[in-house]
Amino acid sequence: MFLSRLLRPRTVASAHCDLPCGVYDPAQARIEAESVKAISEKYQASDDPEFRTRALIIKEQRAELVKHHLWVLWTDYFKAPHFEKYPQLHGLFNEATKLAGAGGAKGAADPAVAEQLLMKIEEISKIFWETKQS
């Protein structure tokens, strides 16, 4: 008992996210998605099998990073009040992560799929910045 009182926090803090605000930004997902698109374009323009293999490996890594950055925003930044105000937000994240995944940009080298992913990220970004204004 004495030990639990001794180790009890003296100050309790609360926040709407797991880190101080200002560390989240959809730009991280967008930058990786732009890489996915550029790599897909270079892949399509090349007939060098070694280059194409390397391009696919790097593109898949970048697509996985897109998913990671989207998930961080979805699970750590956005909270219930955001989802109430923007009911389309869950759907946008679901669509965007699927576009980044194996059924989308990660599994294909199609610049058009990467462009669709970028458009979804832009929609999420607009909502993100609206939430930062309030």
Residue 4 covered by a domain: no
pTM of the model: 0.83
Q: Residue 7: is its pLDDT beyond 70? A: no
Residue 18 covered by a domain: no
Which single residue is written with the structure tokens 């992913």? 117
Residues 33-62: pLDDT tens digits?
999 999 999 999 999 999 999 999 999 999
Query: What single-letter amino acid sits at 122?
Result: E
What's the mean pLDDT when you consider all of the chain?
A: 90
Q: For residues 36 and 120, what is the distance between their CA atoms, to the nearest angstrom?
A: 14
Q: CATH number of the domain at 104, please.
A: 1.20.120.400
Residue 11 covered by a domain: no
Residue 36 covered by a domain: yes
Domain count, the chain: 1
Residue 5 covered by a domain: no
For 69, the domain range is 24-133
Residue 77 covered by a domain: yes
Residue 116 covered by a domain: yes
